Amino acid sequence: EKSARIRLRPILMTTAAMVTGLIPLLTASGAGAASRFSIGLVVVAGMSIGTLFTLFVLPAVYTVIATNHQAAAKSQRAKEIAQFDAETDHALKAT
């Protein structure tokens, strides 16, 4: 939670600086304006989508994955495996 608060501002500032720096490409006119607009649009959209994924999608996916691992660790099968491993270790040490 604390790391999220610390990293939020730098992530948003980096994206904002990059998008702001690309405004001239988006508003270009004259020779080659179409290609500059295309490049600017791709980079701005990519930075924006990447930032949204970094801030919202990635933490949500991580939460789902972490939750499933916690549930699996508490399952009956996990307890049986841990008990078998403990018995095997005890038998090996006895010999």
Average pLDDT score over residue span 57-78: 78
pLDDT value of position 90: 82
Distance from C-alpha of 62 to C-alpha of 4, rounded to nearest angstrom: 14
Percent of the chain surpassing pLDDT 90: 35
pLDDT value of position 20: 94
Q: Which domain holds residue 44?
A: 2-94
Percent of the chain surpassing pLDDT 70: 93
pTM: 0.61
- Structural domain count, the chain: 1
Average pLDDT score over residue span 63-83: 78
* CATH number of the domain to which 18 belongs: 1.20.1640.10
